Amino acid sequence: MIVGTDDQDDYLTEQWVSRAVREGDASVLERALVEAAGRDHVQVVEMLLDAGVPVGSRLRGIVPELSSSALMYAVCDGAAGTVELLIRRGGLAAEPQDSPPSLPRIALASCITGSGAHLATLSTLLAHSAPLAPGEEPLLVTAVQEGAPPVVLRELLRHGASPDEHRSDGTPALVMAARRGDAAAVDVLLQAGADADAADRHGRTALMYAVERDEQQVVAVLRLAGADVHRAAADGATAVTLSKGWTWQTAKDLLGVVTINLPLAARRTAMLLQPQRLRVQGDPGGFELWALMIEHALGVDDDEPLYRVLKDPVAADVLAARLREGHRPGRYGAWNVLALSAAELHIVTSAMFVCEHRSPGPLPGGLDRARVRDLRDDLRRMYQKEDLR
């Protein structure tokens, strides 16, 4: 069914809808409402609602649980005018409140890849206090984690989001942005009043993570905001002491540090990849964490062979042993080094995927899914480092 948008189609649509109303064809009218909503055809939507079509009408899929409402269609397509109309006519109350993703979460995802119309749709939902589904992270946290543009972050803050918002594991949004190297997000949060020295559950601040990852712009923004270079984490680490354990010279210059490659009493939180040589550098604890994730993934990734993420369980088991026993102290740095093949590195990332998305129970090594996501993001960013290409 196509709901027209030009004048002639509007006339034909009105005739067609009027006939359907007279004939009492409820299923056709409900489908028309959903499709018109997805095209931001406000006049047709209003006409259908006035004719008595339920605002909660849903377009049924093959699986009933996957049916979509008129409001959901409008949100997905950035039909802000129709979203406003449907909400005023009771659309939010007709939506199920306990099944993710929620409408604000859908709108946020659309903003990241969409247009100004999707941002307007998100703003409309926020203005009407559209609820999140149980278990969903705060929208600001999700926006930072997904790399949403600064304009989206500012819109969330304008509608009441706290710049000091935390992920469910206690990680501040500012720390998440710093780990991602998202200087723009860090700046937006700080300008909105975020605590520059906010720390995660390990006592690590945004500055500590940024220094370890050589995120120079992030370091500069945090320093200008007054971040404390001597603030100590639970294990005694500070931004200054962490900077001394890496070769990132520019980041150290920003802190006034001249010594490099020193042994660290505190643990590193990043693993350095050198793709052209496939050398992995890090602390023994980092290699152990990778091994634990591989072993855990082997225990839960037992679906049909076609859907198995770890395609070669034997190779994965061998790699877990190598990660524990094969690394050696580096020749020029105070870290351990292990050479991996591209296939072995793929095993590591596949195991991380299984731990994050497919494990039904608790994860090993004190990990949770949010932390695994952070580790996967770190690996991706290390590949993108200019000095490692």
pLDDT one-digit tens code per residue, 331-340: 776 789 999 9
Domain boundaries, the chain: 1-136, 271-389
Summarize the confidence of residues 354-373 as an average pLDDT.
Answer: 92
Which percentage of the chain shows pLDDT scores above 70? Answer: 83
pLDDT category at 323 given cuts 50, 70, 90 is very high
pLDDT category at 4 given cuts 50, 70, 90 is very low
CA distances from 330 to 114, 283, 323 (A): 46, 10, 15
Distance in angstroms (rounded) separating the CA atoms of residues 156 and 48: 32
What is the helix (H) or strand (E) element at residue 69, kind and residue range? strand 68-69
CA distances from 18 to 32, 160, 238 (A): 12, 43, 71
Write phi, then psi, for 281 (nearest 5 degrees): -120, 135
What is the helix (H) or strand (E) element at residue 279, kind and residue range? strand 279-282
SS3 assignment, position 56: coil
Please give the mean pLDDT across all residues of the chain. 86
Q: Which single residue is written with the structure tokens 């001249």?
A: 258
Q: Which of 22-36, 38-52, 120-134, 289-303 has the lowest mean pLDDT?
A: 22-36
Question: Structure tokens of 118?
Answer: 């999707």
Burial class of 294 by CB neighbour count within 10 A (0 to 12, 13 to 18, 19+): buried
Distance in angstroms (rounded) separating the CA atoms of residues 354 and 308: 10
Q: What's the pLDDT tens digit per position in 18-52?
A: 666 666 678 888 888 998 898 889 998 998 999 89
Q: What's the pLDDT tens digit per position in 59-78?
A: 875 445 557 899 999 999 99
Amino acid at 183: A
Model confidence, pTM: 0.78
Question: Structure tokens of 136?
Answer: 């969903």
What is the helix (H) or strand (E) element at residue 59, kind and residue range? strand 58-59
Residue 378 has pLDDT above 80, yes or no: yes
Q: What's the pLDDT tens digit per position in 198-211?
A: 999 999 999 999 99
CATH code linked to domain 1-136: 1.25.40.20
State how beta strands 272-274 and 279-282 pair: antiparallel
Distance in angstroms (rounded) separating the CA atoms of residues 313 and 298: 7
Distance in angstroms (rounded) separating the CA atoms of residues 240 and 231: 9
Give the pLDDT score at 51: 86
Render the burial of 105-120: b for 16+ CB within 10 Å, e for the rest: bbbbbbbeebeebbbb
Q: Answer yes or no: are the C-beta atoms of 264 and 237 closer than 8 Å.
A: yes
SS3 assignment, position 11: helix
Render the burial of 136-173: b for 16+ CB within 10 Å, e for the rest: bbbbbbbbbbeebeeebbebbbebebebebbbeeebbb
Q: Which single residue is written with the structure tokens 């993710």?
A: 100
